[in-house]
Amino acid sequence: MRKLFFIAVTAIVLVSCGKEGPQGPRGRDGRDGRDGTKINTYYFDVYPNEWRTEGNYGFSGYYCFAEKNVSELTSAVIDQGAVLAYVIFGDYDNQLPFVEPLYDNGEYTRIIRYDLQPGKIGFIVADTDFRTWNPPYSNMVKFKVVIISKM
């Protein structure tokens, strides 16, 4: 059995060692600033009085939301870049969407997510029982948004 294993490993090593292919095209140098990426991080505080509701309380589609202006959030960033959003509870950055189980006369789940539009980010809080309190949190909630775009 050992001999068979040794032969198999030797065969794999010999087959994987071969002549390298042709060299690919030269990559971008990034020195002129046009070829790289730009990463910006923003922090937002959402206070209880900033939350609004959408839909009908107790029915599907009901949620609370708060919007913040972000001038760097352009159509190009939304289409070709990347946006990462987090809700910060204590010392922990929790990437959105974030799901947390809650208990109040039964069990339900709270989902925190985000929505993007040019110039704006919306933070959305929805409970699976469609009875999200407004405001969903009695204290300020901190969010972090990371925008990655082409330079």
Q: Please list, residue by residue across 100-129, b when 16 or more beta carbons sit within 10 angstroms of its beta carbon and e when fewer do.
A: eeeeeeeeeebbbbbebeeeebebbbbbeb
| The token pair that represents 135 in the structure block | 């405001």
Q: Is residue 5's pLDDT more than 80?
A: no
**Please, which pLDDT band fits residue 133 given cuts at 50, 70 and 90?**
confident
DSSP symbols for 27-63: PP--TTSSSSEEEEEEEEEE-GGG-EEES-TTSTT-E
pLDDT of residue 69: 97
Tell me the helices (H) and strands (E) count for the chain, helix number first.
Answer: 2, 9
Overall average pLDDT of the 66-84 stretch: 94
Give the 3-state secondary structure of residue 77: helix
pLDDT of residue 146: 97
**Please, which pLDDT band fits residue 31 given cuts at 50, 70 and 90?**
low
The residue type at 4: L
Looking at 12-26, 57-71, 98-112, which range is the least confident one?
12-26
Q: Per this entry, what is the length of the chain?
A: 151
Sequence spans of domains, the chain:
35-150
pTM: 0.74
Give the 3-state secondary structure of residue 10: helix
**Please, which pLDDT band fits residue 30 given cuts at 50, 70 and 90?**
low
What are residue 96's phi and psi, to 5 degrees? -90, 145
